[in-house]
């Protein structure tokens, strides 16, 4: 099944507004993939399929959880959480998509996980910052995503958590783990040794994210240390 055939099938499955949202996510994902040298075709396909199970009945989703041995904890959560993991299975069964990277990006696009792949980050953020979103942090996260995917992930997860808590919603554990992972990662002091020459040459910039260091300004000379990065 080629992309156009998949798109036509997705169009038939999704309500009009959901399909229009999906097309905006596709456009946003492609732009991010091009900017960060990711696989554009995978980004386009994962974005197209990310919400394909959103209209599915909750009972049917839970049957998928049981039948395909997904995380049993998912049974305690609503369709807003379920549709991603279920779609990760559904797209292989119904569309023949066996690529694990695409399946993971679709499965985790709502709540993320620790140490996401580049494609997962792109789909997660594209869904959050597609231009018709109405949340109050759209402009901020969109601007940050233009130069730092990890920080954009941290912010989007933070604001999602605040929203869920304010509305007394259930929080799937992966979202909390995702926030802790990127919060710790993004606030680690120093920079990677492998980036030293790029930083010194001005090819790569150090972004100060901690409010306690907000007094620093462009051109200041800072003392820095390097650290080993053992993550992928």
Spatial distance between the Cα atoms of 56 and 13, rounded to a whole number of angstroms: 9
pLDDT of residue 190: 46
Average pLDDT over residues 90-112: 97
Average pLDDT over residues 129-154: 95
In the predicted model, what is the mean pLDDT of the chain?
88
pLDDT of residue 232: 43
Tens digit of each residue's pLDDT (9 = 90 or more) over 8-45: 999 999 999 999 999 999 999 999 999 999 999 999 99
In the chain, % of residues over pLDDT 90: 78
Q: If DSSP codes are grouped into helix, strand and coil, which group holds residue 191?
A: strand
Average pLDDT over residues 214-219: 59
The answer, yes or no, to whether residue 213 has pLDDT greater than 60, is no
What lies within 8 Å, CB to CB, of 198 at 6+ separation is 204
pLDDT of residue 1: 85
Give the Å distances, CA to CA, from 58 to 82, 94, 126.
8, 18, 25
């Amino acid at each position: 099944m080629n992309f156009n055939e998949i798109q036509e099938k997705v169009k038939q499955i999704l309500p009009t507004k959901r399909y229009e949202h999906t097309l905006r996510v596709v456009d946003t994902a492609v732009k991010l993939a091009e900017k960060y040298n990711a696989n554009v075709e995978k980004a386009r396909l994962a974005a197209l399929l990310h919400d394909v199970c959103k209209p599915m009945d909750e009972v049917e989703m839970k049957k998928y959880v049981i039948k395909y041995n997904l995380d049993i904890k998912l049974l305690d959560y609503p369709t807003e959480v379920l549709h991603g993991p279920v779609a990760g299975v559904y797209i292989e069964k119904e569309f023949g998509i066996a690529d694990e990277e695409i399946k993971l990006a679709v499965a985790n696009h709502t709540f993320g996980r620790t140490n996401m792949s580049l494609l997962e980050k792109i789909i997660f953020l594209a869904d959050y910052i597609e231009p018709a979103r109405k949340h109050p942090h759209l402009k901020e996260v969109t601007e940050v995503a233009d130069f730092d995917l990890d920080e954009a992930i941290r912010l989007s997860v933070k604001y999602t958590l605040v929203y869920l808590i304010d509305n007394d919603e259930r929080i799937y554990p992966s979202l909390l783990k995702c926030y802790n992972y990127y919060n710790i990662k993004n606030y680690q002091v120093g920079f990677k040794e492998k980036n030293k020459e790029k930083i010194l040459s001005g090819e790569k910039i150090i972004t100060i994210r901690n409010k306690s260091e907000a007094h620093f300004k462009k051109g200041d000379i800072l003392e820095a240390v390097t650290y080993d990065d053992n993550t992928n």
